[in-house]
């Protein structure tokens, strides 16, 4: 595992109901961002009959702003401890992630 590939734990509570608390374990921050997109896409599919869903950064930010709680724990190799990351950090990383995917798709 290279220094850029940081193990990430996503902590998520979708609703006020405590039973909606869960966590996801990812080998990298990038994988965690993909995981968040997948969770969001699954929620979108619950409200539409279309198999394909389209969204932009504003849509996913609205989702993130309206769930009860979301945060990440990202492994810091220097201290060998997990550093907590906030909702705003996730939104910024997700924005960069989606831009990168969009640019990659434009090249195909």
CATH of the domain at 54: 3.30.2260.10
Nearest to 87 by CA among 71, 73, 98, 67: 71
The first and second tokens of residue 14, run together, are 């979708």
Q: SS3 of 70, please? A: strand
Integer Cα distance of 15 and 44 in angstroms: 16
- The answer to whether residue 12 is domain-embedded is yes
- The answer to whether residue 17 is domain-embedded is yes
- The answer to whether residue 2 is domain-embedded is no
Residues 6+ apart with CB under 8 A from 68: 13, 14, 15, 16, 20
- The answer to whether residue 3 is domain-embedded is no
Nearest to 56 by CA among 13, 9, 95: 95
> What does the pLDDT read at residue 14?
93
> What does the pLDDT read at residue 108?
61
- The answer to whether residue 89 is domain-embedded is yes
Domain that holds residue 73: 8-106
44-75 pLDDT tens trace: 888 887 778 888 889 999 999 999 999 999 99
Query: What is the tally of structural domains in the chain?
Result: 1
67-102 pLDDT tens trace: 999 999 999 988 999 999 999 999 999 999 999 988
């Amino acid at each position: 595992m290279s220094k850029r590939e940081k193990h990430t734990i996503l902590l998520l509570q979708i609703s006020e109901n405590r039973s909606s608390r869960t966590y996801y374990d990812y080998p990298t921050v990038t994988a965690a961002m993909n995981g968040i997109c997948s969770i969001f896409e699954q929620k979108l599919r619950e409200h539409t009959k279309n198999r394909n869903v389209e969204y932009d950064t504003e849509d996913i930010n609205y989702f993130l702003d309206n769930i009860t709680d979301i945060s990440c724990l990202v492994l810091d190799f220097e201290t060998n401890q997990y550093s907590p990351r906030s909702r705003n950090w996730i939104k910024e990383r997700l924005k960069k992630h989606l831009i990168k995917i969009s640019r990659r798709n434009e090249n195909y």
